[in-house]
Amino acid sequence: MPFGYIGQNQPKQKVKNEGVLSSFDISLLEKNNHASGSYELIQSQTVSDTYVNFTSIKESEYDVHYVTWHQVKDFSTSGANFALRMFESGTLETASVYYNAHVEQKTSSQNYNPKGTYSYIFLSQGSLTSGESTSGYAYIYYAGNSNEYTYVTDHSITEDPVGTAAFAYGGGVLPQTSTVDGFNFSSVNGSAQFTGVISLYGVKKQWVL
């Protein structure tokens, strides 16, 4: 079935969108940073401590950030949760003001952590003990918008040395109308020493034609 078009004149392919966008038009949009759905790597860091900070997140350029973590592992024996905190105008927010809600799926059971107030947002299932690792991703919304709360949605898998896995998904929010200009990924409820790689991306805004 052939596709039609609205109007009497057949549309032409131009950047100003007087019809259908050609591959050349799309390449121009991406070149000029007008295309959505693509990601720009802001920074990637290797963890070798109890925390790592991202303090240059280009919050004025992106409404959405995307973060991945790969095999973040507790190499100590203390155990701790892997979590996210945020910087507000250069100051790390450590008070119990973050809301969380998560579902954890293990081999033989499912746990639901209802909404609660914490001093961080969970990014892993339970507490990582020695040798356990977590990998996952999260989207962070409206960090640089002082008129909006900052929201997080996340998914992760935690695996122990013998291959037993647990999954977690959920989200959180920093319910304060402030400018978030940095992210802190750290061990909480313990002092675990982490290894692994964390990468932060900016998600390009929607097309502006």
Residues 128, 129, 134: CA angle, nearest 5 degrees: 35
- Asked whether residue 31 carries a pLDDT value surpassing 70, the answer given is no
Name the band, by pLDDT with cuts 50, 70 and 90, for residue 202.
Answer: very high
Range with the poorest average pLDDT among 118-122, 128-132, 133-137, 144-148: 128-132
Range with the poorest average pLDDT among 53-57, 98-102, 112-116, 184-188: 112-116
What are the boundaries of each domain within the chain? 8-37, 39-203
Range with the poorest average pLDDT among 29-33, 73-77, 128-132, 188-192: 29-33
User: Residue 119, Cα to own-chain centre: how many angstroms?
Assistant: 18
* Strand spans (E) along 75-190: 81-88, 91-92, 98-105, 110-118, 121-122, 133-141, 150-159, 165-174, 180-188
Residue 156 token pair? 């992760």
Q: Between the CA atoms of 158, 161, 162 and 163, what dihedral angle is there, to the nearest 10 degrees?
A: 30
Range with the poorest average pLDDT among 29-33, 109-113, 168-172: 29-33
Helix, strand, or coil (residue 180): strand
pLDDT at 3: 45
d(CA 187, CA 126): 12
d(CA 22, CA 29): 11
Name the band, by pLDDT with cuts 50, 70 and 90, for residue 85.
Answer: very high
Across 140-171, b (16+ Cβ under 10 Å) vs e yields bbbbbbeeeebbbebebbbbeeeeeebebebb
- The residues that bridge with 159 in the sheet, in sequence order, are 133, 165
- The residues that bridge with 112 in the sheet, in sequence order, are 103
Helix, strand, or coil (residue 175): coil
d(CA 74, CA 18): 55
- The residues that bridge with 70 in the sheet, in sequence order, are 197
pTM: 0.76
pLDDT at 90: 94
For tokens 């905190």, what's the residue? 85
